[in-house]
Amino acid sequence: MDARLFLSRFFHRFLEPPLSLVRLLIVLSSILAFGVVSYDLVTDRQRTEQAALDAARQQALVQSRAAAEMVQATLDRFDFALQTARDAAIAGPRAMAFQEEVIARTLPSDLALQQFRIGADGHLEYSSLGPAPRNYLGDRDYFKELATDQADRLVVSPPVLGRLTKKWSIQLARAIRRDGHFDGVVAIAVSPEEWARQLASFEAGPRDTLTLVNARGHVLMRTLDGASHFGKQAPQKREYILHPEQKEGHYIAHASVDGVLRVYGWTRLRNPELIMLSGIALEDALAPVREMSRRMRLRAALATLLFTVIVGGLLLALARYERAGRRLAEQEAHSRNIVEHMADGIVVVDADGRIVRVNPAFCAITGFSSGALDGQPVSALCADGEQHCELSRLVSQTGSGHWSGDFDGVRSDGSRYVGHAVISAVADSDEHQVRRVVLLSDVTELRRKDKEMWHQANFDRLTGLPNRALLADRIDGMLRRARRNHTEVAVLFIDLDDFKPVNDDFGHDVGDLLLREVAGRLQRLFRDEDTVSRLGGDEFVVAMHAELNSGFGQNAAGKIVASLSEPFQVAGHALTISCSVGVARFPDDGDSADSLIQHADHAMYRAKKQGRSRWSL
C-alpha cells in the first residue's frame, strides 16, 4: 500500500506548482525530441531503401539487355548455320552432305548437341551424331508449326527430352521449302544447361537469376537450378506476355519457379518471341541498407535510453525534493482522501484473513454496505465459497510483496461478477506483517471483450472454423507430440472446384451458405482431436495426428473428395461442386506448420492439374 500511495502522491503533485511548469517543459521537450528522431529514422530508411530498389531495377534492366544481346548473337550464329544447311539441302545431296559436315565441325560442341534434318514425312533423315534408328519426329510442336506456316522464320522450342540422346535440349528449326512446298525441317539441338552456364557471368548475387522465356511464358533456360524448371511456365499476367508491343520493362514479384521475391528487368530480343529476364533477389539487394538502418536504430535506441534515464532521474529528483517538504500529517490526510475516492474497491484484511475495512468504491462494486462484512472471512466475497476461493488463497500467501489475480465474485444480491484483486502486504515498523490490502475492481466486461477478441483473432467469422493463426498453433502442438511419440502428422489442403460459378449464378449470399455447408460436412468427417480450418476464400486445411505410415491422410483425402462431390441443398438450390486435395506428411514433407501447408498446397495444384476431383501427395 505504501508503494501505491507513493505513486498516487507523485502523480498528484506532478502538476502542482511551483515545479509543474518545469516538469511539463521537460516532458514535452522529451516527447518532441523523440518524435523528431523517430521521424528522421523512418524517413531516412525509406529513402535509402527506395534508392537501393531503384538501383536494383536499373541493374536488372542493364543485365537483361546485355544478356539479351549475347543470346541474340548466339541465335544469329545458329540461324546462319540453319539457313546454310537448308540451302544445301535444296541444292542437292552432294552439296547437302558437304555443307552438313562443315557445319557440324564449325558449330560449338559445348552448346550444339547435334544438327539434324527431318523429312517431310516427319522421320529423321540425318543427324550429326551419326547413323541412328528410324525415329519419327513429326509430332514435335515446332515441326507441326513450320509445316503449316508459310512464313520463313526461325522457331525456338521450349526444352524437350531427346528420344535418342536422352538429354534436354532447345530445338532451333527452319522449314525447307522446295518449289514452294514443305519439304522438311533443318534443326539444331542446343544444350540449355551449357547456354545458362555461359550467361551466369552476368549474375551478381547467389540468388540472382537470368531466365530466357518465350512469348507464352515457357521457361527455355535459367541460370539458377535451370534443369529443375524445364517445362515450367511464368504467370500469364506478366506484362511481357500481355503487351507484346513493349520492348522492355521491370516489375517486382515472387518467382513462380522458386518463390523468391525479386526485382526483374526484362528485354525482348530481336526475335520478338523470346524475352530475357534478369531477376535480382530483393532481400539480398536491400540487405546492406537494412543492416545500416539497424545499426542506426540501435544507436538511436541507446541514445534514447540514456536520455530517458537522465530525464527520469531529473523528474525523480524533483519529486523527492517536494516530498521532503511535506509533513507526515498531510501525507496521512491525503492517503485517506485517496482511499475514500478511488474508483477501485479497497478491502483491508487482518492477519487472520478477516475483513477489517472497506472503502465506498467497494460498496458500489459489490452492493454490500460499509461495515456489513466486518469480521467476515475474505471468502465471503467469492461465489464458490471458501474451499475454491481464489481470492482467499491469494490473501493467505505468506511473505511480503504483491499478488494479483482474477476470482469469481458475488454481490450482495447474489449476482456474480469477475473480480480482479491486487494484494499488497503491509508490515509494521519491526517488519512484522500485520495486514493485507486488497485493491479490487470489476473486470467482467473487460474479460468478456478479451474472450471475444481472442475468438475473433483465431476463428473464421463466416464458418466458425479455426483460421490460419490457430491452425499453425495446433499443427505445432501436433508436431511436438509426433516427435515425442515417433508418429505422423498429416496436413490436407482443400481447394473447391467450380465454386466461382456458384457465386456468379446465385450470388455471394448463396456462396457463403455453401461454404458453411462445406465446413459442416468437413467437420463431420473428422475426429474432435483433428483440426478443420478455413484459410479464406474457398480454401480449407485439415490437420490430423496419425500413426506412422498408416496411410490415414491419404484415406482422409479420398473421403473428402467423395463427400464434397455429393450435391448440396442450399437456399432451395441443388448445387454440385468438387474439390482438389493435396496431402503433406510429417516428417517426410516438412517439419513446420508453414512448410507442411506449403507442401500440401503444391500437392493440391498437382491434383487440380490432373483433372480436379482428385487428391495428390
CA dihedral 182, 188, 191, 195 (to 10 degrees): -100
* The CA-based dihedral angle spanning residues 285, 287, 289, 293, taken in that order and rounded to the nearest 10 degrees: 160
| Amino acid of residue 283 | E
In a domain, 91, yes or no: yes
Whole-number Å distance between alpha carbons of 459 and 467:
5
8 A C-beta contact, residue 355 and residue 378: yes
Residues 207 and 326 in one domain: yes
Which amino acids are annotated catalytic? Answer: 538
Q: Running DSSP on this structure, what letter comes out for residue 228?
A: G
343 versus 112: the higher-pLDDT residue is 112
Confidence check: pLDDT of 129 > 90:
no
Task: Tell whether 223 and 85 lie within a shared domain.
Answer: yes
Whether 199 and 315 map to the same domain: the answer is: yes
Least confident of 11-25, 95-109, 547-561, 565-579: 11-25
**Cell triple for residue 66?**
546485355
How far is Cα 323 from Cα 326, in angstroms, rounded to an integer? Answer: 5
Counting residues of the chain whose pLDDT is more than 90, the rounded percentage is 29
The total domain count for the chain is 3
Q: Is residue 169 part of a domain?
A: no
pLDDT attached to residue 590 = 93
Tell me: pLDDT of 496 over 90.
yes
Cell of residue 461, nine digits? 467469422
The answer to whether position 132 is within a domain reads no
One domain for residues 225 and 328: yes
Rounded-to-integer distance, Cα 567 and Cα 574, Å? 6
Name the residue with higher pLDDT: 314 or 61.
61
Distance CA 277, CA 264 (A): 7
Give the predicted TM-score (pTM) of the model: 0.46
What is the number of H-type helices and E-type strands within the chain?
16, 23
pLDDT value, residue 474: 95
Domain end (from 336, 355, 382): 336
Whether residue 35 lies inside any domain: the answer is: yes
Using CA atoms, how far apart are residues 373 and 113, in angstroms rounded to an integer? Answer: 98
Same-domain check for residues 227 and 315: yes
What is the reported pLDDT for 350?
74
Enumerate residues 6+ apart whose C-beta is below 8 A from 604.
493, 494, 495, 580, 581, 582, 616
What mean pLDDT do residues 100-108 have? 65
Domain final residue pick, 336, 361, 394: 336
Residue 524 near residue 480, CB atoms below 8 Å = no
Same structural domain, 86 and 227: yes
Average pLDDT over residues 513-521: 95
Q: Which of 445, 480, 501 is the last residue of a domain?
A: 445
Same domain, 480 and 545: yes
pLDDT at residue 149, as a whole number: 86
| CATH number of the domain enclosing 319 | 3.30.450.20
Are 102 and 204 members of one domain?
yes
Q: How far apart are CA 210 and CA 266, in angstroms?
A: 10
Burial class (CB in 10 A: 0-12, 13-18, 19+), 333: exposed
3-state secondary structure of 207: coil
CA angle 64, 68, 69 (to 5 degrees): 125
What per-residue confidence (pLDDT) applies to 329? 45
Is residue 139 a part of any domain in this protein?
no
Look-up of cell digits 483465431 = 458
Helices 552-565, 508-525: crossing angle, 10 deg rounding: 140
Q: Is residue 47 part of a domain?
A: yes
| 435 and 488 belong to one structural domain | no
Residues 332 and 384 in one domain: no
Residue 72 lies in a domain: yes
Residue 456 has pLDDT above 70, yes or no: yes
Same domain, 501 and 601: yes
Q: What is the pLDDT of residue 7?
A: 52
Contact 238, 249 (CB under 8 A): no
The CATH number of the domain holding residue 542 is 3.30.70.270
Beta bridge partners of 184: none
Q: Helices (DSSP H) in 345-467: which residue ranges? A: 360-366, 390-395, 444-458
Number of Cβ atoms within 10 Å of the Cβ of 319: 18
Share of the chain above pLDDT 70, in %: 82
Cell numbers standing for residue 301: 535506441
Q: Residue 408 is part of which domain span? A: 342-445
Are residues 491 and 411 part of one domain? no
Q: Is residue 182 in some structural domain?
A: no
Q: Could you tell me where the DSSP H helices lie in 399-539?
A: 444-458, 468-485, 500-506, 508-525
For CA atoms 143, 144, 148, 150, the dihedral sign is negative
